[in-house]
Structure formats: structure tokens, C-alpha cells
A = this chain, B = another copy of it.
């Protein structure tokens, strides 16, 4: 007792005097062996990239060996493989362990001061220890997020129409090709870019000139990034380098990087919801790092991860829901990104859908579902029940039931408000006031897009997650109504 007490005093004093949790954690690293190679990485990169090294030092990767991680009780495990290669077992998961993994499969592999490493550590590398996560993710829409914009001709047209540079020539607007840079910084920033190797170059560093591969569309950390090794996804999109923290991934701030106003206002709706209120008010008391994650003990209101993907247990360690890295797996209805709400698609490769007009969309422009590609009612019910298991930890069955019924009504009404806009647009097309050849490039078409992509999405999210102003004045019913009026006036104006 005496000794442990001394340790306690020292640690606590360090906390108060330094406020330095990172330092505290890195002192724990002493107990874990670091491979010789990683040690050598650190020797140099400690000087040139101290932030990377320190961030890693604060990570679980630095403080735990795979052989210890793998024998934890099932509910406490943060590693889904039951075995790990011998070479990795007894050392920290350090620079060299990841950046040298599967070297032969990486076109960005290069020789670096005697080591053969690659820049872009990919899900294919991570799955050495985390195979379940990678497998779940690989089937999800997130993994195919880039293809969803590039291989879906409708969406690709929207990307290009929006991002190409416009010029004013001979009294009218023309346009050039959309640049890779702009696509990377806009749509592909979240959806991911295609990173490939185009030769090598010499770059100047603190340590002199170094030859490195030239990567196209780099940097990028989008969820559907296509990596040089052909794998899809960037685990660092949610577990940022180099702490790869579960705590950060569970923070709503992580999801909010992409799921935000005006097209996907999940974050803003959460912020104005009761759930958000409790999170922001009480997060200093929460533990976002524990595994398993205990309702009422570790947190007392949901963050995004609670409802959508985390493994949850009761204070009695009863399993509530399993972890999933397919972030749509608990969802039955899809409420954003498309013209109308619809049952979740069966496959993450949504660009393979064909509706009755031959377009890669789950509905027609007037809302008819293409059910063949969408989950059926039974699967919808199953997922609703899964989600309700989460809700019922803090809400009575009556409350939950009422909430789900309201969401159904709202989705239907939001769809009706989109249909009215579509019919107005059709009238504009019929009367020759706009040209349907490209449905995304004229002023009235832009209003139609905003009707579904901004305003209908907003009221659906507001219903799903309990945000009041996003249903009302902030891109909600006020805008749905105002925008229809504007569309009507515009048609009337020109039609006379």
C-alpha cells in the first residue's frame, strides 16, 4: 500500500502541476518493449516530427503489446483478431510495425535510411489486428464513398457542375474542367480521393534531401479513400494519427467533420438537441475511453457512436448492442443525400442501383422506390428494434414508440414537400424555362436541389435526433415553404 500510495501521489501531483496527461501516459510506456526499428524511427522523427512521436506515445499502441491485448476478456477487447503474427506480439505497435506491414502490396513502398516502408498505412494493414472492423467497414457505404461520387453518373455530374471554374466570356458564363485540387478539397475531402504513386521525387527535410514516392491527390483522409494498395478507406478519418484514439472516435466532434450543415446536419441537430445539451454540459464527467462502454456509468446521454456503432453494456455488464464498423448497420431508413427518403440500400456499392428510368438512384425523380436494391420490411423492423434497444436505456417504451412514429410521418411529409418542388421543376422544364439536359446547372434547378439536399434533409434529421430549430426556421419547414414559393414565383414570372 505504501508504495502504490507514493505512486498515486506522484501521478496526481504531476497532473496538477503539469496538467500533462500525455506525459503521464507516456511514462507508462516504459513497461512496453519497442522494436529496434521503431526505436530508430523515433530517434530521428523525435526531432523532425516531435508531435507525431508524442501523439503516438500517448496512444494505446505505445502502451500495450498485441499479446496482452489479445487475451483480455471478450467485452474488454479492442482487438478483434484472436492471434497476431509472432513478430508483432511482444512489442508496442510502433512506427515500423505499421509502416512496413505488407510491404510487397504497397506501390508506395520505398527505401528510407535502410528501411523499406510505405507512407500510406491502409485498412489492409490495420486488419492484421483488427480484422472484424475492416471487414464490416469494407462492405459499408463509407468504404465506397468515392465510387459513389465517381461511378454514379448523376452524382458525378453534380460534383463537376458545382466545382468547375466558371468564366465570363463573350457576354456569357462558360466553364473549364473541375480541378483535382478542388474536387479533393470539396466532395472528396469527406468521400476520399484516389491516392496512387507516380514516380518519386526528392524532398527537402530537416535531415537533408530524401527520396519519397509522389502520391496523387495527397493529402487526403476521406472515408472512402482508395489507397495505393487498392484498399478502400482511411481508418485515420475517425481515429486520427498518431494516437488512433477510440476516445476521439467516440466524440461527436469526429463525426461532425463530415456530417454537418447544410447537406447532412446531423452535428448541428445534435448540438441543439437534449442529447447534445447533456453531452456538452456533462462530458467532463464522462469516460469516452472505456471498453466495454457502460450506459449510465461512462456516459449519460448518447454521442453519435453510442447509437450508431459502439458496443454498449449495462452497469451489470449485460450486452446491449454489439460494436459495428458498418455505420449504417443499425439504420433502416436513409434520410440524406438523395431526393427522397428510402429504405437503406442492401449493398454499400450504391452506384450499382438502377431505377426504372435507368438512373443509379434508389427512387425515380418522383419518388417511386426501386425495392430490389433496398432492404425489405423485415430487415427494417429488425434494425429498428436494434436501435430501440439503445433508446430504451434512458426512455420508456411509450416515449420511444412515439418518437419512431413521428419520424415516419416526418419522412413522408418531407418527401411530399420535395415532390411539390420536383413537379414545379418539371413544369419549368415542360415550359422551356429550364433545360433538363443537366438538372443541376440552372438557378431554378439549384433551388430544387436545396429543397431535398438541404431542407428536407434538415427536417428529417431534426425529427430523427430531436433538434427543434432545424425542423423550423433553420433550413426546416420555413425554408421548405419559402423555397417552394420562390420556385413558383420564378416560373410565374417567366411564364407570363
Contact B442 A248 (CB under 8 A): no
Given the interface pairs A277-B256, A277-B257, A477-B182, the reply to whether A51 lies near B469 with Cβ below 8 Å is no
Asked whether A28 is an interface residue with its Cβ less than 8 Å from the other chain, the reply is no
Docked Cα-Cα span, A361 to B472, in Å, equals 22
Contact B54 A173 (CB under 8 A): no
Docked Cα-Cα span, A210 to B397, in Å, equals 10
Given the complex, which residues of B lie within 8 Å of A62, measured CB to CB? Answer: none
Asked whether A156 is an interface residue with its Cβ less than 8 Å from the other chain, the reply is no
> Which of B9, B253, B402, B484 sits near A215, CB closer than 8 Å?
B402
Interface size bucket, A side? 35 or more
Docked Cα-Cα span, A135 to B171, in Å, equals 51
Contact A446 B215 (CB under 8 A): no
Contact B257 A484 (CB under 8 A): no
> Which of B248, B274, B462 sits near A257, CB closer than 8 Å?
B274
> Which of B13, B296, B486 sits near A51, CB closer than 8 Å?
B296
Given the complex, which residues of B lie within 8 Å of A11, measured CB to CB? Answer: 16
Docked Cα-Cα span, A54 to B301, in Å, equals 11
Given the complex, which residues of B lie within 8 Å of A287, measured CB to CB? Answer: 18-20
- Convert A468-496 into 0s and 1s, putting 1 for each residue whose CB lies closer than 8 angstroms to a CB of B: 11011110111011101110110000000
Contact A185 B406 (CB under 8 A): yes
Contact A58 B300 (CB under 8 A): yes
Given the complex, which residues of B lie within 8 Å of A419, measured CB to CB? Answer: 167-168
User: Which segment of A31-39, A124-132, A201-209, A225-233 sits at the interface?
Assistant: A201-209
A-B contact pairs, 8 of them (CB 8 A): A8-B16, A49-B394, A167-B420, A186-B471, A215-B398, A218-B398, A251-B277, A256-B271
Contact A282 B185 (CB under 8 A): no
Asked whether A324 is an interface residue with its Cβ less than 8 Å from the other chain, the reply is no
Cβ < 8 Å to B, chain A residues 48-70: 48-55, 57-58
> Which of B206, B272, B297, B399 sits near A54, CB closer than 8 Å?
B297
Docked Cα-Cα span, A443 to B402, in Å, equals 35
Asked whether A360 is an interface residue with its Cβ less than 8 Å from the other chain, the reply is no
Given the complex, which residues of B lie within 8 Å of A257, measured CB to CB? Answer: 272-274, 277, 468
Asked whether A104 is an interface residue with its Cβ less than 8 Å from the other chain, the reply is no
Other A-B contacts than A22-B297, A187-B472, A258-B468, 19 sampled, CB-CB below 8 A, are: A19-B285, A49-B395, A51-B296, A54-B297, A165-B413, A166-B480, A173-B424, A182-B477, A185-B410, A186-B477, A189-B471, A203-B397, A205-B397, A206-B392, A218-B398, A219-B395, A219-B403, A248-B277, A253-B281
A149 CB to nearest B CB, Å: 12
Cβ < 8 Å to B, chain A residues 418-443: 419-420, 423-424, 427, 441-443
Contact A488 B5 (CB under 8 A): no
Given the complex, which residues of B lie within 8 Å of A477, measured CB to CB? Answer: 162-163, 182, 186
Contact B189 A289 (CB under 8 A): no
> Which of B166, B204, B441, B453 sits near A397, CB closer than 8 Å?
B204
Asked whether A102 is an interface residue with its Cβ less than 8 Å from the other chain, the reply is no
A417 CB to nearest B CB, Å: 6
> Which of B165, B296, B423, B463 sits near A22, CB closer than 8 Å?
B296
Given the complex, which residues of B lie within 8 Å of A150, measured CB to CB? Answer: none
A151 CB to nearest B CB, Å: 20
Given the complex, which residues of B lie within 8 Å of A462, measured CB to CB? Answer: 185
Given the complex, which residues of B lie within 8 Å of A173, measured CB to CB? Answer: 420, 424, 484-485, 488
Contact B409 A179 (CB under 8 A): yes
Asked whether A286 is an interface residue with its Cβ less than 8 Å from the other chain, the reply is yes
Cβ < 8 Å to B, chain A residues 220-257: 221, 240-241, 243, 245, 247-248, 251, 253-254, 256-257
User: Which segment of A83-91, A260-268, A349-357, A367-375 sits at the interface?
Assistant: A260-268
Asked whether A278 is an interface residue with its Cβ less than 8 Å from the other chain, the reply is yes
- The 10 A-B residue pairs with the shortest CB-CB distance, nearest first, are A54-B296, A51-B394, A189-B468, A51-B393, A168-B423, A21-B285, A19-B287, A251-B281, A181-B409, A186-B472
Contact B50 A296 (CB under 8 A): yes
Asked whether A2 is an interface residue with its Cβ less than 8 Å from the other chain, the reply is no
